[in-house]
Chains A and B, each alone.
Chain A
Amino acid sequence: MINKRSWPDYGALLIVCLILALIPLATGGSPYYLRLATLMLVYMTYAVAFNIIFGHTKQLFLCMGALAGCSGYLSVVLIRELGLPPGVTMPLGVLFASSLGAVFSYASVRRGLGVIFVGVITIAFTLVFHNLILGLRVLTSGEDGIVTRGLGFGVLEHRLASYYILLAILLLSLLLYHFLISSRIGLAFRALNDNELTAELAGIDVTRYKVLAAFIGSALFGIAGAFYAQYNGFISPDIFSFVSVDTPVFIMVLLGGMGTLLGPIIGAGVFTIVNELVRPLGYLNLLVYGVFLIVLFLLFREGLVVTLRKMVKLHIP
């Protein structure tokens, strides 16, 4: 499994791990900045997931918030309604999100939908999810949201500990990404990303690999969503909405560079800082998102990592 070509990846992961592990020290004990850093980890995990789905198999999933939200809400509501332990409900939530993602992917590959119609269908699902949460008041308390209580035993309640738990999840998803991409599956992804028809002719089961990518990516959304729901202490439709998840994550992945190991993380880091700078502007943050999206897609499609690679002539994973 471990070969020479993987060393740069491991080195990069180690550096990322060290930097992220030291961030809580840099916040100087301020709860606000620690919370911001923790949210950044959640968004980094989202970005890694989107990178697998969109960056490697070109499936435009615009239902990231809804997938994370399905898992988050399911795990919280089942605890409250049926009294099940989080250890049972969270895997159920994740399973539900990943199956949904796989179903979307299977249906759209089977029907031969272009990238744009996958986008339309998944946007429709985002809105269905939003309206379901608002409509099922009895279960979800609608817009008011639900207070969540962590995992018991104080896990995900203590702020610093939660940071490291979410960091561990991020690192595990990065490792998963690395193994996925450096295996035969990654090879298949690369082939079908270049040209689906030729990949199919070369004997690659395009349907299977696209559904696999959607399944794994959606599972990561589900995991991040479920942990976020417990960590946050409160869930509402707003924290899983299109504007608060899908748009930022799309920008993060574009900014960092699609199809790279570090791109989504770097993109998420830079975006978090920019977002924090424009927070005082209120609604104008939408304007900033919009301009970011346009400029990035027009002028900077390769993203930071690839640009850096060209500048320093070094292989950055």
Chain B
Amino acid sequence: MISLFIDGIICGLQLSLLAVGLTLIFGLGGVLNLAHGQLAVIAGISAAGLIGAGVNVPLAALLGVLIAGASGLVLDRSLMLMAYRYKGEARLLLGLVLTLGVSLAIEGYLNYSFPLVALTISLPILNVTLFGVVVRTTAIVAALIAILTLLSLFLFLKVTSLGKAVRSIVQNELGAELCGIDQASVRTFIFILGSLMAGLAGIAQGLTASLDVRMGMEFTIFALIVATVGGVRSINGTLAAGILLGVVNVFASFYVGTYLTFIILLTTAGLTILLRPRGLLGDWT
């Protein structure tokens, strides 16, 4: 029971890590990035390739994450630039279609070129005991990565002036512009940050289980579910929703099986959009 709960929390932290990037980019750029999961896959596959080429594991992981960030930069500076020219609904639709196209293109390319590459990271010490329960070391490391990243994100948004600029744009684009905040560069910065976080989530997936080239769409969907349940513009909400759904995911998979679990998660997301558009926890976050 306790071990299931710990697994749930760890899974939830990973989900939050994946979804927060999506939330940030949506809140700031007004683009729902359907290629988000593919960025996680890019990081994981690059890391796996580098490890295969003899690079040591931490460095390969770091490079993988940086490659995801660079891909984010390229995406933002090329295609998203066209989407940013529009406002409101038109931008949303254009962003959705463009990132769907990018997602398909990346998935097709990776499946064609590296069909058998997978990332599985193992550590020298296999298990540690936590609260009297045996937990895999890799899962602990993945959870630590997620916690540290999310904590630094919070500090960044609360304390630094760039973080405050980010929050001001989320609240009111025009107001931020009037205060002299350069939206375009902050937007690019956040797109890179979100991509880096997706990359970290990909590495974390390689730690807890295994990551292969076919998982991009699944990552995007999970991020989308968590982000909608958390309220697509709220970062705290996304974090809470991630942990909640992680626990639900692990318990439901254990008791009722994977298919039904996925249906439960998707239905939760659908109903949240219909019944509480500001997020399941929208009122107190």
Contacts and interface: CB of A to CB of B under 8 A. Distances in A.
B103 to A, nearest CB: 7
A170 B104 CA distance: 29
A120 B269 CA distance: 9
A123 B92 CA distance: 16
A124 B270 contact: yes
B108 A131 contact: no
Interface stretch (A206-214, A293-301, A303-311): A293-301
B80 to A, nearest CB: 12
Contacts of B221: 123, 127
Contacts of B274: 107-108, 111, 113, 121
A285 B101 contact: no
A291 B260 CA distance: 34
Interface in A256-302: 281-294, 297-298
B93 A287 contact: no
Contacts of B259: 131-132, 134-135
B205 interface: no
B190 to A, nearest CB: 19
Nearest to B95: A116
Interface in B98-112: 98, 100-109, 111-112
B126 to A, nearest CB: 33
B101 A297 contact: yes
Nearest to A284: B112
A283 B115 contact: yes
B52 interface: no
B262 A290 contact: no
Interface in A13-27: none
Most chain A CB inside 10 Å of its own CB: which residue of B79, B92, B224: B92
B13 interface: no
**Chain A interface residue bracket vs B:** 35 or more
B134 to A, nearest CB: 31
A125 interface: yes
Nearest to B260: A135
A111 B263 contact: no
A102 interface: no
A285 to B, nearest CB: 7
A127 B108 contact: no
A99 B285 CA distance: 36
A119 B102 contact: no
Contact of A127 (B94, B105, B111, B262): B262
A120 B95 CA distance: 13
B115 A131 contact: no
A174 interface: no
B228 interface: yes
A114 interface: yes
A290 B96 contact: no
B98 A297 contact: yes
A105 to B, nearest CB: 12
A84 interface: no
Interface of B: 32, 79, 82, 89, 92-94, 96-98, 100-109, 111-112, 115, 221, 224-225, 228, 257, 259-260, 262-263, 266-267, 269-270, 273-274, 277
Interface of A: 60, 107-108, 111, 113-117, 119-121, 123-125, 127-128, 131-132, 134-135, 243, 247, 281-294, 297-298
Given A123-B221, A286-B111, A287-B105, 12 more contacts: A124-B266, A127-B221, A132-B263, A135-B260, A283-B108, A284-B112, A287-B108, A288-B108, A289-B101, A289-B104, A291-B101, A294-B105
